[in-house]
Each structure stands twice: as structure tokens, then as C-alpha cells.
């Protein structure tokens, strides 16, 4: 899709999310498997987070389907040369941990540590 400029839906199990990213740190992750032991869930993700935006690509997942505050997966079906207004709810995230997709504010990280 990227190299050829082709349009179409992402394959089943894949999704792409966008977040406003407020941090002095950039975060780029190679494909990483994230497990949640509290519930049966896993995800393979890739993240590029550099202020002011973070994009999180979920390559594959099991258990609960991944959710993004602003899921931009459908925009892969719009041709690159088409200009159109877009809208959506955008989460404001922070880079207080090393985990891709973890955009909790510092107080949220500290509250979960206790």
C-alpha cells in the first residue's frame, strides 16, 4: 500500500491509531508483543511517537480486540491524492513509560504503581 500508493482496507486483525503526543521524549519501537496477564489479551505492535503525534499500528492481536481513541484504519481506503476533511476524537497522550501505546499521564502511572 505504501510503496505503490494503493488503497484498500487493512488485513483482518490490523488497526492503526493516532494520538496527540505531548512529551519531550520520542519513542520508536520495533515490532513488540504486549501481554496483559490480568485478562487474556496480547498484541503485536509498532509505534512511532514524536511530538505532536503518535501512531500505533497493531499488527495482530488475540483476546479483546484493540481499540484506539482515534482509529484511522479506514483512511487507508482513500487515495493519497484525494483531499477531504476528516474528523474524530483524538486522545492526548504522554510518554511516561517505555511501553508502546501507553499514553497515561504521570499521575496515572504513579497510581498504578501503588
Would you give per-residue pLDDT tens digits along the chain (114 residues)?
Answer: 777 878 999 888 889 999 999 999 899 999 998 887 777 788 899 999 999 999 999 998 887 766 787 888 988 898 888 888 887 788 899 988 888 888 888 888 888 877
Is residue 73, in this structure, part of any structural domain at all? yes
The parent domain of residue 65 ranges over 15-113
Number of domains forming the structure of the chain: 1
The rounded Cα 98 to chain-centroid distance in angstroms is 14
Is residue 84, in this structure, part of any structural domain at all? yes
Is residue 6, in this structure, part of any structural domain at all? no
* Strand duo 53-62 + 41-50: pairing: antiparallel
Is residue 3, in this structure, part of any structural domain at all? no
Is residue 2, in this structure, part of any structural domain at all? no
Three-state DSSP class for residue 40? coil
Q: How far is it, in rounded angstroms, from Cα 107 to Cα 95?
A: 12
> Residue 64 phi/psi, 5° resolution?
-65, 135
> pTM for this structure?
0.80
91 - beta bridge partners?
Answer: none
The pLDDT assigned to 89 comes to 80
Three-state DSSP class for residue 106? helix
Is residue 38, in this structure, part of any structural domain at all? yes
Amino acid at each position: 500500500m505504501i510503496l505503490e500508493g494503493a488503497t484498500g482496507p487493512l488485513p483482518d486483525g490490523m488497526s492503526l491509531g493516532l494520538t496527540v503526543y505531548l512529551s519531550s521524549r520520542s519513542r520508536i519501537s520495533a515490532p513488540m508483543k504486549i501481554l496483559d496477564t490480568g485478562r487474556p489479551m496480547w498484541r503485536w505492535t509498532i509505534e512511532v511517537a514524536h511530538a505532536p503525534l503518535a501512531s500505533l499500528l497493531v499488527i495482530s492481536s488475540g483476546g479483546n480486540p484493540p481499540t484506539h481513541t482515534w482509529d484511522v484504519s479506514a483512511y487507508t481506503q482513500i487515495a493519497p491524492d484525494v483531499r477531504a476533511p476528516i474528523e474524530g476524537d483524538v486522545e492526548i497522550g504522554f510518554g511516561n513509560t517505555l511501553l508502546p501505546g501507553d499514553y497515561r499521564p504521570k499521575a496515572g502511572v504513579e497510581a498504578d504503581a501503588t
